[in-house]
Structure 1
């Protein structure tokens, strides 16, 4: 995930300050801003890691079960809202990265590899093509 918006970075800095105050995940070493490298960025209100729940999705290729955390996604969505970023989610950075790589390379397999997906079907949700690119490709093909 790439978080580059200044307000989002400020919100993350504020959150890390709260974690420091509460002593959650501290290592006592200056590296990693004083946090343990393995500690979770987003935690429950008690400073513990979220439990992962199974998600069931029906894809074009058939049913798929995977693990994720709804609460974690909600936390990132709230973080984006607090930073004043509309439409942000836990996958916004992945979508932006996928779109930029696709626009730069035109190669969906590069996007698939970059996102770490075993199947191209898994990458489809991250791929959007703007109308200008479609028009350019059509004109180039003629």
Structure 2
């Protein structure tokens, strides 16, 4: 984790402690309640997960859970920063692609993204023209 990320997370923890959102009387976890959600809404409540269903390539129905309100919040943050068309998944795609371009083993990338199967992760990885050129040279 980068130093900048650590500082941002600490600022968020300090903010929660100041507002007494999800705190405990214990000192562990910097005073946060370990059973509380880490990311809370502006009003101090946990975001709810909604069950969603997607049909897989083999026809089976896969159920997953998503916090639509968090996705909307992330989109708004990106929009205010001037990043058009950005989403939380765009960041995941960038991470997966960057790890792949940095020669991180393909078996490691799904674990980084929280995927149980490599084939799920392959959809996130974008191959750059430079990577294609290297592959063509190796094929000669």
| Shared fold (TM-score, shorter chain, > 0.5) | yes
Residue matched to 1:46: 43
Residue matched to 1:137: 135
Shift of 1:131: 1.4
Residue matched to 2:115: 117
Shift of 1:35: 2.8
Post-superposition Cα deviations, 1:114-142, rounded to whole Å, max 9, x if no partner, equal 33322223213321111111122112211
Q: How far apart, in 1, do the equivalents of 2:34 and 2:18 lie? A: 18
Change (3 A) 1:132 1:48: same
Which stretch of structure 1 is more off in the superposition, 125-134 or 43-52?
43-52
Aligned residues: CA RMSD: 3.4
* 3-state DSSP of counterpart to 2:102: helix
Change (3 A) 1:73 1:59: same
Tell me which of 20, 23, 26 is aligned to 2:20.
Answer: 23
Shift of 1:38: 4.0
Shift of 1:69: 1.3
Aligned residues: 137
Post-superposition Cα deviations, 1:83-141, rounded to whole Å, max 9, x if no partner, equal x2615433344323311221122643332233332222321332111111112211221
Instruction: Please list, as runs of the form range in 1=range in 2, the aligned pairs for 1:1-142 lying within 5 A after superposition.
Output: 13=11, 19-28=16-25, 32=29, 34-62=31-59, 63-82=61-80, 84=81, 86=83, 87-105=85-103, 107-142=105-140
* 3-state DSSP of counterpart to 2:94: helix
* 3-state DSSP of counterpart to 1:126: coil
Q: How far apart, in 2, do the equivalents of 1:107 and 1:92 lie? A: 21
